[in-house]
Copies of this chain bind each other. A is one copy, B any other.
Amino acid sequence: MLIGEYTHTLDAKKRLSLPSKFRKEIGKKVVVTHGLDSCLFVYTLKEWEKVAEKLTELPLGQADSRGFNRFMLAGAVETEVDSIGRILIPEYLKGFAHLKGKVAVIGVHDRIEIWNDKAWGEYKKRIEKQADVLAEKLGEIGVL
């Protein structure tokens, strides 16, 4: 299970260390793609296949599902994890998520997300403020 929050740095060569806790789970190849809320999604090959399948099930006739498909699929890169657990972030994805220097790497169960550190900080603040609203929802789905 991929959970937790880590701060790593994207170096001059666009390399990014993945947290050592994730290494065993992810294997040696991952798929990086455009995420939602201006972050990147990183999937294991296995998870990616599931996602891709779901995407292709979307009705091709609708313009916006075509768009979403292209957004997710065309933006995806299969990349190897190097010997010490780093991946390469292509320029266009780096630009998309405004990555530079400090970067937040977060585990969200079945995928990893990569955020600009500041953006993540602000996003988190927003979410934490809504904690009581969230709590109600938690109650609704029977978590708490």
Contacts and interface: CB of A to CB of B under 8 A. Distances in A.
A127 B67 contact: yes
Interface size class of chain A, counting residues whose CB lies under 8 Å from the partner chain: 35 or more
A71 B128 contact: yes
A127 B73 CA distance: 13
Contacts of A21: 78
9 closest residue pairs by CB, A with B: A74-B106, A3-B76, A4-B77, A71-B127, A73-B108, A67-B127, A5-B74, A73-B109, A36-B135
Given A4-B78, A70-B108, A70-B113, 19 more contacts: A3-B77, A3-B78, A4-B76, A4-B77, A34-B128, A36-B63, A36-B131, A36-B144, A37-B63, A52-B109, A56-B109, A58-B141, A68-B127, A68-B134, A68-B137, A71-B128, A71-B131, A71-B134, A96-B128
19 contacts: A4-B74, A4-B77, A5-B75, A5-B90, A34-B128, A36-B60, A36-B66, A54-B142, A54-B143, A64-B137, A68-B127, A68-B134, A68-B137, A70-B106, A71-B124, A73-B107, A73-B109, A74-B107, A74-B113
